[in-house]
Chains A and B, each alone.
Chain A
Amino acid sequence: MAKLWQKESMHFHLMLLPALALVLIFQIYPMSGIVLAFKQFVPTKGIFGSPWAGFKHFRFVLDNPESVKILRNTLIISFGKIITLIIVPVVFALMLNELRLRWFKRTVQTVVYLPHFLSWVVVAGILKDVLSLEGPVNWVLHSWFGFEPQMFLGSNEWFRSIIISSNVWKEFGFSTIIYLAALTNINPSLYEAAEIDGAGRFQKLMHITLPGIAMTIALLATLSLNGVLNAGFDQVFNMYNVLVMESGDIIDTYVYRSGLMSAQYEMATAIGLLNSVVSFILVVLTYSMAYKFANYRIF
């Protein structure tokens, strides 16, 4: 502690002050709005002047039969997204890494990460047309394979899979870049040594390449877990409809419908707070897991 205030390090601490002030004003202070979740909001009295409501809003959320459904949908969709967004980019990066043609590698890399820059409004519009009863997907399935036309975006069986797979299509190229960067960090002498020992391509992959990027995989997995209750408002909101509420309604869309559109701010805050608490617990858990299994620590 004494060391902290030593003269020579003092100016560093002073330099930290503006940043600290920013965090206080824009990150910590607005957090006080959380108190709304425990209030019966009266506009004229403001958030802090309104009477307390105790745990009324939380009780309503927990008693609400919708909550189970929404939580289930959120977890399924977001775990689906997390898992696919680990596996697909890793496999893809490994495959690209085996390529020898540099220009081809570059082109593929660019092409697959282009969709990342499209907005979900655009992608959802395209998907709606492509997946409609008269769209190309149904046409191919029907005329080539004889399947009955499916109303993909109106069916509870298909909706989640479409959400997860279209998310992978849009985002995997972006994560691939990170893995490719990690791959360049592996010491080439390891490969040479393995070759001398007579290792084949697959053995090199399993014993050098994969362990080499295991750290990065663990890091990205851990980081993505903090958003486990965030299944992607933009995407779901643009693609869902009443028919798929059963499988597609997630926390964010429910909060939007009940909170903003019906002006139930207290309820929306309560759900948001519950969301954060659960996320926090999950982050702590996964962090300790990452430490235990991958010996990985951020701090």
Chain B
Amino acid sequence: MKKAALLSAVALMLVVTACGDKTNETATSNNANDTGANAPANQPAEKADPFGKYAETVEFTTIVNNNPEAAKKFPEGESFESNKYKTYLETSLNVKSTPLWEANGSAYSNKFNLMIASNDLPDIFVVENIDKTPAKTLLKRMYDADMLEDLTTVYEQYASDAIKEVHASVDNKALENASFEGKLYGLPSVNDMNNVHMIWLRQDWLDKLNLQAPKTTDDLMAIAKAFKEQDPDGNGKADTLGLATQGAQLFSSDPFTLRGFVWAENAYPDMWVKDASGKLVYGSTTPEMKTALGKLAQMYKDGSIDSEFALRDGNKTAEFIASDRAGMMLGMWWNPFWPIGGEIDNNPKAEWKAYPIMTGDHVNVGNEFYSNSFMVVKKGFKHPELAVKIMNTMKANSTKKIPELLELETNGIYKASDSTRNQWGLNTQVSPAFPDTTARTVKKFDQIFAGTAKEDILDVAEKPIFDQVKSEMDNPKKDLNNYKTYLAWMEGNGVVSRTKQNNIFNEFTGITPTMEQASTTLSDLQTKVFLEIIMGKKDLSAFDDFVTQWNKLGGEQITKEVNDEYAKLQ
């Protein structure tokens, strides 16, 4: 029965294509491909158009993560529900998107989890990390429950060259990551690998105390101690902090956490990494972690870490930076915009600089996989290729290849507004980028400033950034926004592009049965013991007890399950 249906579909396809006259070709070939999308890959399918417009309006439902901060940045009269990006997408493809629901923050997470639990998926949507649950886990959960459409064929047929080029640049690993049993179930993003955690510090303080620029964690410790004790702001009061840090989320990806510090010690907490024998071990339990904790405990003892850091979160810690009380933090390239931006507005005299924390000749970087979000299609939705087309459009816009939208962004209503807002009426953007996108840009800037290249090597997206950087270099601190952009790109991204990176990946992002049950207990235990060791409430030897206890409370079983699953994936 199935075979007969397939045959007739193929026959129909041939007839339709054969009959189509010249003027009607685009429309008919799209129709043919709609049928062809469900046929096996080895069928001689018509060349699919990655940006092809549907003959009849295709309606689909989705969900929107309506971040209120982003909403403020919409130009007047526009919103998540109605904006020029969404309109462009809808008219250029002849589609209509309807959000099933909109939410933000924890409400979004809860609704998202409930949506999966109640099997009430929209047609096309984006899966992101939800709280502590990685996107990959959610993807697997939906795959296991048979809720997702197989996208293998439509990806092959419809993905634009730009997207395929990006995936090829990471050896299609991101695609493999979104595949189960050889079939693709989500269109993965590919992230820019600029996840380097670096030291941001007040260069003017450093110079005042006659200290050398930091290279290693030991230098960092010495500077933090000096910043605490030697009155770097010169006001005669002992009111400065060493390293501004927060303990509420010790190793999360937020600024102010201690990630960069422990990575530099070759410790990768909360990640599954390979040990010498090639087996996966939990990074929080390795001997390197113990060494790193020992150093942090020393810093706490020296008073270089705020004594109440365990009770603080990022916002509270940012106040220390903004109020001129702290001159050093660990963070990422974009930190000049936040939290350092607040301090720059407050005290424009402050001179900030970024330094990598070196381990030998390189900087260690821990990464989740190449991708942390996937665009997926609900099982049974008639036009799975639409998801690919949407991604093609997002990708084209991210490299400024869509003239209508580019016009809006350079001369039109989007000129002054921020590009981080949700633009397409989906919950987020998924457009694969080269893993070294920003580094490529900074290298171009460096060449231009060195006189080895002309400004015409810049693309449309890079030009405005370059202009800001250049006007900052010509007129230092005339416009503080230019200063922040300069810091982020030339200092922050400069560290990313000029330092040799040793990228370590989390080798297992799934979830195992024991993990499901024990993860809360284990992560509570870990944070508690680590904080107690750092704060000197427990001796460093408590780390060994922690490892024993961690194994006993389910960690050993989890490690076994993880290795079994990992072996299966190989």
Instruction: Give A residues with C-beta under 8 Å from B.
Output: 41-44, 46, 60, 64-66, 128, 132-133, 151, 153-154, 241-243, 245-246, 249, 254, 257-258, 260-265, 267
Contacts and interface: CB of A to CB of B under 8 A. Distances in A.
Contacts of A243: 310-311, 528, 531-532
Contacts of A43: 116-119, 141-142, 145, 147
Given A42-B145, A132-B308, A246 B521 contact: no
Contacts of A60: 517
Given A43-B119, A242-B531, A267 B147 contact: no
B524 interface: yes
Contacts of B517: 60, 264, 267
Contacts of B119: 43-44, 46
Contact of B310 (A154, A258, A264): A154
Given A41-B117, A243-B311, 20 more contacts: A43-B118, A43-B119, A60-B517, A66-B521, A128-B311, A132-B308, A132-B311, A133-B308, A151-B307, A154-B310, A154-B311, A242-B247, A242-B248, A242-B310, A242-B527, A243-B532, A261-B109, A262-B132, A263-B133, A264-B517
Give the interface centre of B132, B247, B517, B527 by most chain A CB atoms within 10 Å: B517
Contacts of B141: 43
Give the interface centre of A43, A249, A265 by most chain B CB atoms within 10 Å: A43
25 contacts: A42-B145, A43-B116, A43-B118, A43-B147, A44-B146, A46-B119, A60-B517, A66-B521, A66-B524, A133-B307, A151-B307, A151-B308, A151-B311, A153-B311, A242-B310, A242-B527, A242-B531, A243-B532, A246-B528, A258-B520, A260-B110, A261-B131, A262-B133, A262-B520, A263-B133
B520 A254 contact: yes
Contacts, number: 75
Contacts of B519: 262
B311 A64 contact: no
Contacts of B76: none
A44 B553 CA distance: 31
Interface string B507-521: 000000000110111
Interface string B99-130: 00000000001100100111100000000000
Interface string B74-118: 000000000000000000000000000000000001100100111
Give chain A's interface secondary structure class: helix
A249 B146 CA distance: 37
Contacts of A254: 520
A243 B527 CA distance: 8
A274 to B, nearest CB: 16
Nearest to B511: A262
Instruction: Identify the 9 closest CB pairs spanning chains A and B, nearest first.
Output: A258-B520, A242-B527, A44-B145, A43-B119, A43-B145, A263-B113, A44-B119, A261-B131, A43-B117
Interface in B157-185: none
Contacts of A46: 118-119
B380 to A, nearest CB: 12
Give the interface centre of A64, A133, A261, A263 by most chain B CB atoms within 10 Å: A263
Contacts of B311: 128, 132, 151, 153-154, 241, 243
Interface in B522-570: 524, 527-528, 531-532, 553
A246 B118 CA distance: 35
Contacts of A258: 520
A262 B516 contact: yes
A15 to B, nearest CB: 36
A133 B133 CA distance: 35
Contacts of B147: 43-44
B549 to A, nearest CB: 10
Contact of A245 (B113, B132, B146, B524): B524
Contacts of A42: 145
B335 to A, nearest CB: 24
A131 to B, nearest CB: 10
Contacts of B117: 41, 43, 263, 265
A241 B132 contact: no
Contacts of A261: 109, 131-132, 520
A254 B520 CA distance: 9
